[in-house]
């Protein structure tokens, strides 16, 4: 069995345009970069000193009414545990709470509102929210601020505290 030709074959040459690589400029990247740079400038504005575990440990063993160790985690996170002598004031309510009068603050949170010149150490889970808390406090006139940068994760690893099972 063979192939039969049914008619003349036409051939056409197709000419394709020459392809050149095109780099597309994404203007939204520029905006994102500007926003990140603005956040970096804000972070550079934090004047809070960093507190190490070795510096914090004695403060927890001999608490002072003139010094505050504030846990800015949310209440459900605090259920996992907290650093001795700390009080909880979640970052989500910190800006408004620092503007409350002293009596309303004590009634709502159960401890005295720190004065603007008192030593305040903030911590959270990993050190990011505590850095933000320092910035919020600074913008509200607080001057003696510290960030326990290692925060809860550092404390538990050094104290041998095991996180609760999920």
Q: What is the pLDDT along the chain (166 residues), one digit of tens a residue?
A: 555 555 566 666 766 666 655 555 555 556 665 555 555 444 445 558 999 999 999 999 999 989 999 999 999 999 999 999 999 999 999 999 999 999 999 999 999 999 999 999 999 999 999 999 999 999 999 999 999 999 999 999 999 877 655 4
Bridging pattern class, strands 145-148 and 49-51: parallel
Q: Record the pTM.
A: 0.71
- What is the C-alpha separation between 82 and 123, in angstroms, rounded? 10
25-28 contact pairs (CB < 8 A, 24+): none
The residue ranges of every structural domain in the chain are 48-158
Active site annotation includes 124: yes
The domain made up of 48-158 has a fold known as Oxidized Rhodanese; domain 1 (3.40.250)
Q: What is the pLDDT of residue 125?
A: 96
* DSSP code, position 121: E
The label of the residue with tokens 């970096």 reads 40
Q: Which of 89, 124, 131, 137 is catalytic?
A: 124
Residue range 37-53, pLDDT digits in tens: 555 444 445 558 999 99
């Amino acid at each position: 069995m063979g192939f039969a030709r049914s008619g003349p074959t036409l051939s056409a040459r197709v000419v394709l345009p020459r392809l050149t690589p095109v780099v597309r400029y994404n203007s939204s990247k520029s905006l994102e970069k500007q926003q990140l740079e603005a956040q970096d400038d804000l972070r550079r504005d934090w004047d809070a000193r960093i507190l190490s575990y070795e510096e914090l440990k004695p403060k927890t063993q001999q608490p002072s009414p003139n010094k505050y160790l504030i846990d800015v985690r949310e209440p459900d996170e605090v259920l996992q545990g907290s650093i001795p002598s700390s009080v909880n004031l979640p970052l989500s309510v910190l800006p408004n709470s620092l503007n409350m009068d002293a009596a309303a603050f004590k009634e709502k949170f159960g401890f005295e509102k720190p004065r603007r010149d008192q030593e305040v150490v903030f911590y959270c889970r990993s050190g990011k929210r505590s850095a933000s808390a320092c910035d919020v406090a600074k913008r509200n006139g607080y001057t003696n601020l510290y960030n326990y940068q290692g925060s809860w994760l550092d404390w538990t690893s050094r104290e041998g505290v095991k996180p609760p099972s999920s």
